[in-house]
Amino acid sequence: MNSTDKLKVTKKQLKAYYQNIFPFDLFIKWVTLGNTIPLKQRYFTFSIRPNDDVLNRDFPKKYIDFTSIDDFRSFILREVPYRIDMEAVRIIPAKKVIKETFGEAPIAKYKSLVFDIDMDPFNWDIIKMIGKKLDIIIRNIFGFQHLLYVFSGKKGIHCWVCDTHCLGTLDSRRLEIVEYINYHYPQIAKYIDTNVILMGHNSKVPFSIHPLTGYVCTPFNIDDIDKVNPLKLPTIHSKKDEIKPYIEYFRDSFLSELLDTSM
């Protein structure tokens, strides 16, 4: 996506996006599965940048938890993170574990399976082909149904497998799934980052902004991928009405079905 690599993202633009467009209510419903998972147990990592220089070093804030949606929203509007990554659900308070284990990460309990399809140089036609085949494999071979496909904002797409019965899948089983794709579908596997699927790996959340391109990490229906033009997807400069259809898809077609089966 060479035409988007230099799109500048400023803190002022980010704050306006968070204030006016980011779907906080729907996002929190998703990460808590409609309040079936306590928000306090969901951890995030944020990249904080002191100024707007894209070459400036980001300062990560790791293992941040929240007690409420208002707590989460206040943090975002105060810190204006350039990147939002979601971690696993962790059952022991982070500060206690970090203190007792000399800086090691809190123990993970649940996390979506995330397939990160990435290409450099970027080729959307190949990405589309891989996405279609991956969707068939995940649904027909592994039996997962609640899949959220999200444009990464730069070089690929992410597939979030959100079926509740897969969230606690151990890394050994996650690697078995990847190895099955590696063995039977090597033409697909070479474009998938195998580390992202692991329990301890963070993943950039839907509706966040890619800090280098300014594109919104936009959810889309995999059945409509042939109609998707990544260069025309919403950016930080887009108006609310331009992003609204993608928020509605996330709410009405993905999230409502997920919550109906998990609650």
* CA–CA distance, 130 with 4 (Å, rounded to integer): 22
Chain centre to alpha carbon of residue 130: 18
Q: Say if residue 215's pLDDT is above 90.
A: yes
Helix (H), strand (E) at residue 129: helix 124-136
In this predicted model, what pLDDT tens digit does every residue of 12-25 receive, in sequence order?
999 999 999 999 99
176-214 confidence digits (pLDDT tens): 999 998 999 999 999 999 889 988 889 999 999 998 899
pLDDT band for position 49 (50/70/90)?
confident
- pLDDT (average), residues 34-43: 91
- Is domain 2-262 given the CATH code 3.90.920.10 in the classification? yes
Whole-number pLDDT of residue 244? 97
Distance of alpha carbon 40 from alpha carbon 146, whole angstroms: 24
Where does the chain show beta strands of DSSP type E? 42-48, 59-64, 83-90, 108-110, 113-118, 147-151, 156-161, 192-193, 203-204, 219-220
Confidence band, pLDDT 50/70/90 cuts, at residue 89? confident
Assigned token pair, 100:
């007792």
For the chain, the domains span 2-262
Contact 90, 106 (CB under 8 A): yes
